[in-house]
Chain A
Amino acid sequence: MLREAFVVAAKDLRIEARSHVGRTQVVPFALVVVVLFGLALDPDRGLLTRAAPGLLWVTVLLTALLATQRSLALESADRAVDQLRVSGIDPAAVFLGKAAALSVQLLVVVTALAVGVVVLYGAVLASPLLLIASALVATAGLALAGTLYGAVAAGLRVRETLVPLLVLPVVAPVLLGATRAWEAGVGLAVSDGWPWLRLLVAFMVVFAAAGVMAFGPLLEDA
């Protein structure tokens, strides 16, 4: 199953790499949002620096919605999903593969944004290990939730508006957990960041399990 998941992930990433949409649109979009936050909040550095982790993860959430829509569009265009369905690949592997590809893209976005908040907001990446670990787990959680909800809304005309409504309340724990972990990671919070990492791991596990179980029935009539 893992090998199949890897094949699906590689397929999605290859399409993304060749379409250049991620590099030329999604990442620039995320950076534009970071600049806009700088305009909206007083460019007084104190405020921006303190808000940096929250702003970064809100931006990741918004970008994740775009990336999720992209990942879904790959399958709905030309009914590619039908080939995926008759290919004999385990639906759970399709789910994990698509989520993994999405997760890799989100990690690229997080990396770009981290550079953005360091340069523009003056944030200091104090404990890299915590930052990297929480970014890995949080993006995985976002990608899993996005992929699962994408399948729930697959093939609907109103998908573009429905997916954000469904996904955003669900990923609230990721926003909270990743922001608190990053606040500790950039040395803003006195509290420990590691309990938040446990929460992010729990979220990731719950959504991985839910997706593995539910993707089969959902794919039947995607």
Chain B
Amino acid sequence: MLNAVGVLGLGGLVGTVALGLGTTPPDQVQGELVRMIYIHPPLAWTAYLAFAVTGLFSALYLWKRQPRSDQIAASSAEVGVVLCTLTLVTGSLWGRPTWGVWWTWDARLTTTALLLALFAGYLALRRVVVDPVARAKRSAVLALVAVADIPLVHFSVKLWRTLHQQPTLLRPDPQIAGIQAWTLLLGFASLTLLYVWLTGRRARLEALVHLDESRALELAVASR
């Protein structure tokens, strides 16, 4: 089941690349540069989704205290950090020719960068706490506080300055249509599937590590 999701995601990604680089026409204003739209917004969406899932399962962990929730939260954060880094890299590559700068202190850029820093901290914390229960509890609190902090960060930077282009697709009169819109949607769908696949695989691995740890403890107790 999970592998089917992975195959679909990878296939969709190949399709997105083929359509995005080949079939779709260049843009009137941006020319060939518009092709970044098929990869950058889907990456950003999956990164935000990943962190939202981490927040959700962290809350679930604090409520029910099931190791499974913690494993999913951690896996989602790991995948999210990778996706968020890719978002910033592709955005930077796109920004240089279109805006003339690699980086600008825009609300969304700054929020995304701080989001990456917050979850990099989350992963750093997970690495140094050894006891699984303490690790789960502390990192769940950390993830929830990070999620609560995001609106404050976003609002503060927005009050400060904004340059990023406004949404293209999700608005009453979409600014994109035809094959371009379908390619973009395919990009969103395949990256979401890839995210689910990667997180699922990672969570399974985490569950196995957990199992291994508890077995090792049992063996150690039995051998005494």
* A interface list, Cβ under 8 A from B: 148-149, 152-153, 156-158, 162, 165-166, 168-170, 172-173, 176-177, 180, 195-196, 199, 202-203, 206-207, 210, 214, 217-218, 220-221
Contacts and interface: CB of A to CB of B under 8 A. Distances in A.
17 contacts: A157-B128, A158-B128, A162-B128, A166-B121, A169-B118, A169-B121, A170-B145, A173-B149, A173-B155, A176-B160, A199-B152, A199-B155, A199-B159, A210-B148, A214-B145, A217-B62, A221-B137
B144 to A, nearest CB: 7
A175 to B, nearest CB: 9
B159 A170 contact: no
| A148, A165, A170 interface centre (most CB from chain B within 10 Å) | A170
Interface of B: 62, 114, 117-118, 120-121, 124-125, 128-129, 131, 133-134, 137-138, 141-142, 144-146, 148-149, 152-153, 155-157, 159-160
Q: What DSSP secondary structure best describes chain A's contact surface?
A: helix
B160 A210 contact: no
A202 B141 CA distance: 19
Q: What DSSP secondary structure best describes chain B's contact surface?
A: helix
Contacts, number: 78
Contacts of A207: 145
| A149, A152, A158 interface centre (most CB from chain B within 10 Å) | A152
Contact of A202 (B62, B145, B152): B152
Nearest to B62: A217
Given A156-B129, A180-B160, 18 more contacts: A148-B141, A152-B125, A152-B138, A152-B142, A153-B125, A156-B128, A162-B125, A166-B125, A168-B117, A169-B114, A172-B114, A172-B156, A206-B149, A206-B152, A207-B145, A210-B141, A210-B145, A218-B137
